[in-house]
A and B are shown apart, each in its own frame.
Chain A
Amino acid sequence: GNSVTQMEGPVTLSEEAFLTINCTYTATGYPSLFWYVQYPGEGLQLLLKATKADDKGSNKGFEATYRKETTSFHLEKGSVQVSDSAVYFCALSGTGGYNKLIFGAGTRLAVHP
């Protein structure tokens, strides 16, 4: 079945450091890929998405490219801020069966001044 694997956290960075959170997936067909973010005490929000191979999703300085050859969707940001501290979830949506979202384990990011 479909699955998502994320790098384990927590990830601790200093402000303005470069961020990479790895995400790989297993799926049949051509899924859509998403990054969701959960700030402390809040629900999940969509950060970015890509719906086909080689698409790049971007938002708020974050980027991720849908790589079908490596089945990956790594999240990157060139310069993190303290306000980026949150839990980041990689997810995929299948091509059938109500298109349910399958989430990775989540990666907690802590950014220090």
Chain B
Amino acid sequence: GAVVSQHPSWVICKSGTSVKIECRSLDFQATTMFWYRQFPKQSLMLMATSNEGSKATYEQGVEKDKFLINHASLTLSTLTVTSAHPEDSSFYICSARPGTAGNTEAFFGQGTRLTVV
């Protein structure tokens, strides 16, 4: 199947600093990518939909200025956690689909574990 690569796989940062997470579709183009957050032993919470060449669409309750999303090309989306705080510590996962239809498989990155100290 298609491959989605996420980097870094883990990061530790100091409170108040910003962290950038990259999500790349390696063998297909993705007009749309999705960013999720997963708390320990919980489900994936959709944070935002990243659209190539336009602004991201954020889910209710997700701070746009806190979680900056840039989808600069058809194979790359980035999530920047700005002014990180310990409560932002979590597992962040991106996904992408080769097509736009709802019945197509979504491929997931391996996730990024963020720890803010």
Contacts and interface: CB of A to CB of B under 8 A. Distances in A.
B77 interface: no
Contacts of B108: 36, 43-45
Interface in B1-27: 1
Contacts of B1: 46
A31 B93 contact: no
Interface residues of B, number: 26
B43 to A, nearest CB: 4
Given A32-B102, A99-B102, 12 more contacts: A32-B103, A34-B106, A36-B108, A44-B44, A46-B1, A46-B106, A49-B105, A98-B100, A99-B100, A100-B34, A102-B46, A103-B43
Interface of B: 1, 32, 34, 36, 41-44, 46, 49, 51, 57, 93, 95, 97, 100-103, 105-111
